Amino acid sequence: MNVRFDGQTVMVTGAAHGFGRAISLAFAARGAQVWACDVNEAGLRETEALAAEQGFSLHVRTVDVADPEAVRTFVQEASGAQGVDVLVNNAGGVLGQVGRPLEEISPEDWHAIFRVNLDGAFYFSQAVAPLMKARGGGRIVNISSGAGLGVSLTGIQAYASAKAAQIGLTRQLAHELGQWGITVNNVAPGFVRSNPTTERQWESYGEEGQRKLVEGIALRRLGSPDDIAHAVLFFASGYAGWVTGQVLSVDGGR
């Protein structure tokens, strides 16, 4: 399957490392004009440098996905006169939080995770929808988590809840936007060592916990950020033209 995105404008959130970086580089390598954003400016510059090393370029901007005005400004700049073909809502995570008993969770901690994992996806989708409608089509791909389909390995209640809500948003927007030729789909990754947070989580399991985690995967191995990027490429491509409102678990088989 030879997938190309020449002449297309692709926006990727949370592109400073991990999935977002892999997704940004995958689209850029296939001819897309990529606009990548994150709150981590240093990480974004590393993503930009990696693209340059591989012989292609991408645009990077520091954007807080939880700030609707910042989102609108970024979308306006990135769309220019061409509009937006693909939006990948990847920004998310646990924001340094760890699993704690329910009664110890503050409202601030609860809402902080919702803002980056759910609100950001809503604000970006809201900003690109009129542009995609005007073009007569588009692709929105949300990155959730296996935690949104089951339970979080970290025990973080807000993370599991926000990812489940993002899956609900995916299905709802698929039905609302489908009449304009806009597809909305979701990739739900399993555990992947993709960033400092997941590295700390992996180390916390110890040798025995790591062994049990891998043995619980049908393919008996962990995935990589590229595995997630490949699923996104499929949803964004013409091969998925009649696929919308779907959740694809990319987890090695659970």
Distances (CA, A) of 199 to 95, 171, 195, 225, 243: 14, 31, 6, 13, 33
**Active-site pick, 123, 159, 205, 239:** 159
Alpha carbon distance 34, 223 (integer Å): 24
Encode burial over 3-27: b for 16+ CB neighbours within 10 A, e otherwise.
eebeebbbbbbbbbbbbbbbbbbbb
Is 159 part of the annotated catalytic residue set?
A: yes
Q: In which residue are the tokens 């390598």 written? A: 29
What is the distance between the alpha carbons of residues 66 and 16, in angstroms, rounded to a whole number?
16
Tokens of 10: 């692709």
E strand intervals along the chain? 9-13, 33-38, 59-62, 86-89, 138-143, 182-189, 247-250
| Catalytic residue set | 159
